[in-house]
Amino acid sequence: MKNDLGINTLSDRLNKAELKNSVWFDAERTTSTSISTSGAWTKVTYDQVRKSSTTGDGSSDDGISTSTGIFVCAIKGAYKFDFQAGKYPGKAGYIRLIKNGTIQKYHQTSDTAPHALLALTTILELVQGDKVWIETNPRLYSDSVIRITFTGFLLQVADEN
């Protein structure tokens, strides 16, 4: 159903309302992550992403790549990132948010109950080319209802001074 402005979907509304330099993404995964055979940390990747029209797809040093799970900063500023996922049933769960290879946030739960929540929220100052991603060990649970999500958006463009 169209509204008075002739806009009929959430994506259309968001694209019409976007400001210059608007950067945001909302990535999802609807399948569980693979378990590492070596016990190493693995990057979380995604099945689909909704994003602003000014957010790239990660293929040219800009935006979020679903295949690598990496967000690459194109506009210097303060960014907010949120991640949430269910841990795998019967296992402890560990996640960490990485910026340019350095751990920024870490969360763990030793609760072995099915699908206990793992979540991270942070605000980071980024410059052009900075990379941000999520890693897990040993694995995360997801299906068509319980989804793994990673969102990010530019809060404020940095002054060029």
Q: What is the pLDDT of residues 59-84, one digit of tens each?
A: 777 899 999 999 999 999 999 999 99
CA–CA separation, 51 and 153 (whole Å): 9
In the structure, what pLDDT confidence band is assigned to residue 151 with cuts at 50, 70 and 90?
very high
CA–CA separation, 3 and 47 (whole Å): 30
DSSP 57: B
Region of 39 please: left (phi>0), alpha (psi -120 to 50) or beta: left
Residue 144 has pLDDT above 80, yes or no: yes
137 contacts: CB under 8 Å, gap ≥ 6: 36, 39, 40, 41, 42, 94
Angle at 63 between CA 132 and CA 143, to 5 degrees: 75
Whole-prediction pTM value? Answer: 0.85
CA–CA separation, 50 and 42 (whole Å): 23
pLDDT for position 90: 83
The CATH code belonging to domain 22-157 is 2.60.120.40
Angle at 42 between CA 38 and CA 44, to 5 degrees: 150
In the structure, what pLDDT confidence band is assigned to residue 8 with cuts at 50, 70 and 90?
low
Q: Which of residues 101 and 62 earns the better pLDDT score? A: 101
19: closest CA among 45, 47, 69, 53?
53
Q: Taking residues 84-99, what's their average pLDDT?
A: 90
